[in-house]
């Protein structure tokens, strides 16, 4: 399907290779401007903010496991709703700093893809993504994105669909 990834940044090459392995028809694209935030990605693509699939990483305490919550760009993850879904009783969920994100996913903040992580995280998919037929996700670099469907996320990650967000006002 795709033959040459050599001109792409390393993280994008990894995502492109994974998408190829998954037989996904859409190659990551490089945007001329950075898409470090969901709003920047939506503006760059000319789509609704909610169509951007944000990859939010948390750190599960005490084992240090990465927890990935994939949600719509127009929503904010409620950590208190995520915690009981991924933590044993009495354990906590914490914010992940840039170093933790890079070490566990292999991606820098602003380019965290929902696939092709360096270490497989615990994954949750927020139900609000299913408001859209087509969505866009980061592809391993702050300028790279790819098109997919919410159903693709379920198929690729085998993650549960949950309600863990607060609507942005």
Q: Where are the domains of the chain?
A: 10-167
Q: So what's the pLDDT on residue 89?
A: 84
Q: So what's the pLDDT on residue 1?
A: 42
pLDDT tens-digit series, residues 16-37: 999 999 999 998 999 988 888 9
Rounded CA-CA distance 115/140 in Å is: 9
pLDDT tens-digit series, residues 116-129: 999 999 999 999 99
Q: So what's the pLDDT on residue 19?
A: 96
The token pair that represents 40 in the structure block: 């920047």
Rounded CA-CA distance 81/163 in Å is: 8
Q: So what's the pLDDT on residue 36?
A: 85
In the predicted model, residues of the chain with pLDDT beneath 70 are: 1-6, 167-169
Confirm if 135 and 51 have CB atoms less than 8 A apart: yes
Is 10-167 in CATH node 3.90.960.10? yes
Q: So what's the pLDDT on residue 3?
A: 53
The whole-model pTM stands at 0.92
β-strands 161-162, 122-126: how paired?
A: parallel
Rounded CA-CA distance 55/72 in Å is: 9
Which residue stretches of 29-161 are H helix?
A: 38-45, 79-86, 98-105, 150-157
Q: So what's the pLDDT on residue 130?
A: 97
Rounded CA-CA distance 158/169 in Å is: 31
């Amino acid at each position: 399907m795709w033959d040459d990834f050599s001109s792409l940044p390393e993280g994008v090459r990894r995502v492109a290779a994974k998408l190829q392995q998954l037989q996904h028809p859409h190659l990551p694209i490089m945007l001329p401007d950075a898409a470090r935030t969901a709003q920047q990605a939506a503006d760059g693509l000319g789509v609704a903010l909610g169509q951007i699939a944000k990859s939010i990483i948390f750190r599960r305490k005490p084992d240090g496991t990465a927890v990935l919550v994939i949600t719509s760009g127009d929503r904010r993850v409620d950590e208190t709703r995520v915690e009981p879904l991924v933590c044993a009783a009495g354990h906590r969920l914490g914010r992940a700093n840039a170093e933790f994100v890079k070490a566990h996913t292999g991606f820098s903040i602003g380019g965290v893809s929902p696939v092709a992580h360096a270490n497989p995280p615990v994954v949750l998919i927020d139900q609000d993504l299913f408001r859209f037929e087509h969505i866009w996700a980061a592809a391993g670099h702050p300028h790279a994105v790819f098109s997919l469907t919410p159903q693709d996320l379920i198929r690729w990650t085998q993650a549960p669909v949950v309600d863990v967000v607060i609507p942005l006002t």
